[in-house]
Amino acid sequence: MADAVKLSCATCGQMNRVAQDRLAAGPKCGACGDPLADGRVIEFDARAHDKATRSDDMALLVDYWAPWCGPCRAMAPEFVKAAKALQGRARLAKLNTEDNPQIAQRTRIQGIPALVLYRKGREVARLAGARPASDIVAFVQGNLS
């Protein structure tokens, strides 16, 4: 698998190697069978967040949010639309900062919603505030080319 990317499973934590030409086909975890990149938004816990942001080769956009945040709730359907539009090119995930304040502090999240784009274990770019799906897609595409 010369042209393969590493993707961590948000469910079981298993690291998977997936051929790049299979990313748009909705690959599944080799250990637990859960989807790895099927165009849906992933709900991260602290363990899954840390593993994916440090290890995944594929672009990963994390929405740092909280349930009490009105703009966060308003942006949620747009984030889902963006996840579908970016299937095969990037994974989109959410991390509840209310449940994971240590991660919000460590990643220097100062306001929510905050979108942070990671790739190959490094932060690539940030975007603050609620955005429509088209802005989210353009942000990811613009920072990956």
Which residues participate in catalysis according to the annotation?
A: 69, 72
126: left (phi over 0), alpha (psi -120 to 50) or beta: beta
CA dist list (Å): 96 to 2, 66, 88: 36, 5, 24
Helix (H, G, I), strand (E, B) or coil at 125: strand
In whole angstroms, how large is the CA radius of gyration of the chain?
14
